[in-house]
Structure 1
Amino acid sequence: MPLAAPVPTIGQHALLVFLLQVAFLLLLALVLGRLAMRFRLPAVAGELSAGVLVGPSLLQPLLPGFSDWLLPQQAAQMNLLDAVGQLGVLLLVGVTGAEMNFALVRRRGLTAAKVSVAGLVLPLGLGIATGFLLPRSFVPAGTDPTVFALFLGVAMCVSALPVIAKTLLDMKLLHRDIGQLILAAGVVDDVAGWFLLSVVSAMATVGLTAGVVAQSVLYPVGVVLFAVVIGRPLVRAALRRAGRSQSAMPTVGTAVVLVLFGSAATQAMHLEAIFGAFVCGVLIATSGVVDPQKLEPLRTLVLAVLAPLFFATAGLRMDLTALARPAVLGAAVAVLFVAVAGKFGGAFIGSRLSRLNRWEALALGAGMNSRGVVEVIVAMTGLRLGILNTETYTIVVLVAIVTSLMAPPILRYAMAHVEEAAETRLGMDTRTAAAPEGTPDRGPDAVRTTEQRGDA
C-alpha cells in the first residue's frame, strides 16, 4: 500500500506575506491604541483604526499596488490572518469570562437586574424592528430577513464590559458605588449577550424553523447546565493540579486548553465558539482554586498582542467609502440613533425604576451604552456567518466605536452633577472629602455618592 503524499507546507512567499501582515498590523494597532489612550479614548478605537487605514477605506485607493501585495485577496492567504485573529478573540473572551465578578451581581442584586433587563429588552426590540425596516439591499443574499433582524437586535443590546471597566478605572470610579453598579449590570448584560448571540448564530447556521428555534434555545441552556454540573468539578480539578506548581506556566497552559476545548464543543454544536470560550472563562473564575497572579501572563499576552491584532483584522473589513452613498449613510445614522436610544434609554429607565436620581441614571446609561469590544466581536461573527455584508458590518462597527467614545465625557458630566447634588445635601465637598473607612453600606440597591474613591 503506497504511502500518502505529505501535506505541502506553507510556501515561502505566503509565509513572508503573513509575517509582514502580522508585524505591520500589530505595530500600527499598538501605536494607534496608545495614541487613543493619550487622548483619553478607548484603545480599541485606535486598534480598529489600524485595520481601517490599511484596508479598502484608505490604503487600497491610495496605493493599490502595495495594498494588493500586502493584503492579497486570496482566501488561503487571508485565512492565515483570520486564524490568528480567531485565536485572539477566543482567548480574549475566555480572559473576560475569567475576570467576571459575580459577587458584584449578588451585592447589587435588584438594581443591577432592573438596569440590565431594561437595557437589554428595549434595544433588542428596537434593533429587531430596525432590522425589518432596513432596505433589503442591506441583507446579504441568501440570508433570512428574520435572522438578520434578530442578529441586529442582539448587536444593539450588548455592552462591552472590558471597555466599561477600563473607562471606570481611568476615571477613578471603579470602587465607587455607581461604578460597581455599572459593572454588575454589565456582567448580566455580557452573560445574556453571549447567550443570545449563540442562539441567533445557531439559527443562521442550521436554518429557521420551529424545531431549529427550540434547539437553538435548548442547546445553550444544556451547555450551561453541563458546565455547572459536570464542567465545574472537572475544571476545578484540572486547575488545582496545575496550581501545585510554583510556575505560572501550567496554569496558563491549562486555562488555554480549557478555553479552546470549550470553544470547539460549542462550535461543533453549531453554536458560536466564543460562547464556549466565555462559559469556560466563567468556570475558571468560579473555580475558587486559581491564583489570579498566575493568569497574569496570559492576560498580558492576550491584551498586548492577540487582542490588538484581532481588532486590526476586524478593521480591515470596514469600508468607510461606503458611507459616501446616501442610503448607507442614512442607514448608519438611523442604526446609531436606535442603538443609543435603546441602550441608553433602557438603562436610564431601569435606573429610575430603582429610584436613582436622574444624574445617577445618566451615569448608568452612559456606562451601559459603551459597546466597544463585544460589538466588534458580534459584528465579525455576523460577517463570518454571512448575516452581515460589508455595509452593515461597517455600520455595526461604527456603532461600537461611537458609543465607546461617547461614554467618558457623558460619565464625567453626570458624575460632576452627582457629586454636586451630594455636596448640596450634605453640606460638604465630596470631591475632596473622603468617607471614613468602614462607613456602613445602605444596602445593595442604594448608591452612596460620598463613598471614598478607590483606584485599582
Structure 2
Amino acid sequence: MWQNPTHSPEAANLPSPTLGRLLCGALVALGIPFIIGTVLVKLFFLPLHGWQAAHGNGWIGAMSIGLCISVSALPVLIGIVRELEPVYRPVGQLALKLAVVDDAALWIGLAILQFAARGPDALHGWTGFEGLAVLLLIGMAFLSSWATRNLKNPPIWVIWAAVPAYLAAGSWASHELGLHELIGAYFAGALMPPRWVRRLPVEAVGTFSLIWLAPMFFGHSGLRIDGDALTWPSVIASLLLVVIAIVTKILAVWIFPPAPGLTHRQALGIGSLLQCKGLMEIVAATILHAHGMISEFAFASLMVLAVISTTLTGPMFRLVSGRSHAQTAG
C-alpha cells in the first residue's frame, strides 16, 4: 500500500527492526500513554462535574478515555507520510508500522472494554442468536483459511461480492454479541484472504473515503456534541488531554525506540506522528459514547483533542525533524 522510500542517506542509515522489536515498540508506544492517561483521568478528570459516565464504574470510564488518548490515526498518517519529503519517508513508514499494531489493539481494546462494562451480564442470558453469531465468526475464519489455500485467484466479481457479505456478517455478529457494528466489520475485513484484498483498489477506496466520507463522519460526530458540554472547563480539560496525549506518546517512543540505533530526532519524529489522533479517535469516542461508557463532557473534550492533535502533527514533525538547508543540498 505504501511506496518504498527513495535512496537517500537517511534511508540507508535507518536501522531495520526485527519483528519482535517492532511489536514491543508498538506496545510500549500504546501502553505508556494508556496507563498514564487512565490514571490521570481517574484521579483528576472523572471527579469533575459531568465527567462520570452513565454505564460502567470509574475505572471503565477512565480506561475508555485512556484508550482514546493512546490511539494513533492510521488512515490520516498514511496521507501524511505520502506527502513527506523522500528523506523523511523511512521514519514515516516506520511510524505507520507501529500505527498498524495500534489500530488492531484499538479494536481489541474496544471489544474488551464493552464486555467489561457489561460485567457479569456479558455472558448471561444468551439466546440462540448469540451462539449463531459466534459460529458465524468461526465459520468466516475457516472459510477464509480454506480460500487462502484453495481459491487463490478467483474472478474479481467473487471478491467484490465477498466484501459486503463479510462486512455485513461481521457487523451483525458483533451487534448480536452486544458490541458495536464497526468492531465486527473491522475483524471481518481482517479475516478476508490477503491475496483477495491485494487485488482490490485499496488506495483508491481509501482516498475516496478520506476525501468524501470522512468529512461527513466528522460532521455527523460534531453534531452529536452537546452544546452545554462545551464549557470553559471542558476546553481547558481538552487542552490538558492534548498535553497528556502528546507528551506520553513522544516519551514512550523516546524511551523505547521501535528500532535500535535511531537518533533522538528520528525517535521524536516517530512520536510526533503517532500522537496524531484523527479519525480513529473520533470513531472510538463515538462508539464509547453511544454505549454510555464516556460522558457528554468527555466526548466533547475528545473531539477537541482529535482536531488539535491532528492539526499539530505536521508542524510538530517538521519542528523535531528540522533538517538544515546544508543537509538538504548534500
Aligned to 1:14: none
Whether the 8 Å contact between 2:81 and 2:89 is mirrored in structure 1 is: no
Contact 2:246 2:272 in 1 (8 A): no
What is the aligned partner in structure 2 of residue 310 from structure 1?
217
- 2:266 pairs with 360, 366, 377, which one? 360
Matched, 1:328 2:223: no
1:275 matched to 2:183? The reply is yes
Q: Distance in 1 between matches of 2:236 and 2:269?
A: 29
CA offsets per residue over residues 123-153 of structure 1, 9 Å max, x none? 1111211231221531134442121012112
Relative to structure 1, the CA distance from residue 360 to residue 298 in structure 2 (aligned partners, 3 Å threshold; closer, same or farther) is closer
Identical pairs, percent: 23
Amino acid at match of 1:181: L
Aligned residue for 1:288, secondary structure, equals: helix
Tell me how far apart the structure 2 counterparts of residues 304 and 253 of structure 1 sit (CA, whole Å): 24
Q: What does residue range 79-90 of structure 1 map to in structure 2 within 5 Å?
A: none
Q: Does 1:288 align with 2:195?
A: yes
- The 5 A counterparts of 1:129-208 are 129-133=39-43, 134=45, 135=47, 137-173=50-86, 176-204=89-117, 206-207=118-119
**1:210: how far off?**
11
Distance 1:409 1:262 in 2: 39
* Aligned position for 1:115: 25
| Cα pair 1:124 1:154 within 8 Å, conserved | yes
Q: What is the aligned partner in structure 2 of residue 73 from structure 1?
A: none
Matches within 5 A, 1:334-373: 334-351=240-257, 354-373=260-279
Higher Rg of the two aligned structures: 1
Q: 2:285 aligns with which of 365, 371, 379?
A: 379
Query: Cα offset for 1:107?
Result: 6.2
- 1:301–1:333: structure 2 CA closer, same or farther, 3 Å change rule? closer
Question: Which of 374, 384, 391 in structure 1 is aligned with 2:297?
Answer: 391
Q: How much has 1:288 moved relative to structure 2?
A: 1.4
Cα separation, 2, equivalents of 1:237 and 1:258: 18
* Residues 171-225 of structure 1, C-alpha deviations (whole Å, 9 max, x = no match): 2359832122111111111111111111002222x2268989xxxxxxxxx99x9
User: How large is the RMSD of aligned CA atoms in angstroms?
Assistant: 3.5
Deviation (angstroms), 1:383:
1.2
**8 Å contact kept, 1:168–1:174:** no
Give the TM-score normalised by structure 1. 0.59
- After superposition, give the CA deviation of every residue in 1:269-296 in whole Å (9 maximum; x if it has no partner): 2233323222222233x52134535556
**In structure 2, C-alpha distance between the alignment counterparts of 1:353 and 1:209, rounded to whole Å:** 43
**Does the CA-based 8 Å contact 2:214-2:279 persist in structure 1?**
no
Match of 2:318 in 1: 412
What SS does the corresponding residue of 2:328 show, helix, strand or coil?
coil
Per-residue CA shift, 1:56-77, capped at 9, x if unaligned? Answer: xxxxxxxxxxxxxxxxxxxxxx
1:342, distance to aligned residue in structure 2 (A) = 1.8
Letter in 2 for 1:116: A
For structure 2, list consecutive stretches of 5 or more residues without a partner in the other structure: 4-15, 125-133
Q: Is the 8 A contact 2:234 2:300 kept in 1?
A: no
Equivalent residues of 2:152, 2:195 under 8 A apart: no
Residues 78 and 96 of structure 2 are in contact (CA less than 8 Å); yes or no, is this contact kept in structure 1? yes
Deviations along 1:64-110, whole A, 9 cap, x unmatched? xxxxxxxxxxxxxxxxxxxxxxxxxxxxxxxxxxx699xxxx96524
Q: Distance in 1 between matches of 2:115 and 2:24?
A: 28
Q: C-alpha offsets along residues 358-416 of structure 1, whole Å, 9 cap, x if unaligned?
A: 11111011011011111000110111001122211010111111111111112122333
CA positional deviation for 1:155: 1.1
Are the equivalent residues in 2 in contact too, given 1:159–1:368 (CA < 8 A)?
Answer: yes
Q: 1:375 to 1:296 in 2, by over 3 A?
A: closer
Question: Please, which runs of 5 or more residues in structure 1 have no aligned partner?
Answer: 1-98, 213-221, 424-428, 434-456
Aligned to 2:128: none
The alignment partner of 1:416 has SS state of coil
- Tell me if 1:431 matches 2:328: yes
Supply the distance in 2 between the matched residues of 1:227 and 1:190 (Cα, whole angstroms): 24
TM-score by length of 2: 0.79
| Displacement after TM superposition at 1:115 (Å) | 2.9
Which residue, out of 38, 43, 46, partners 1:128?
Answer: 38
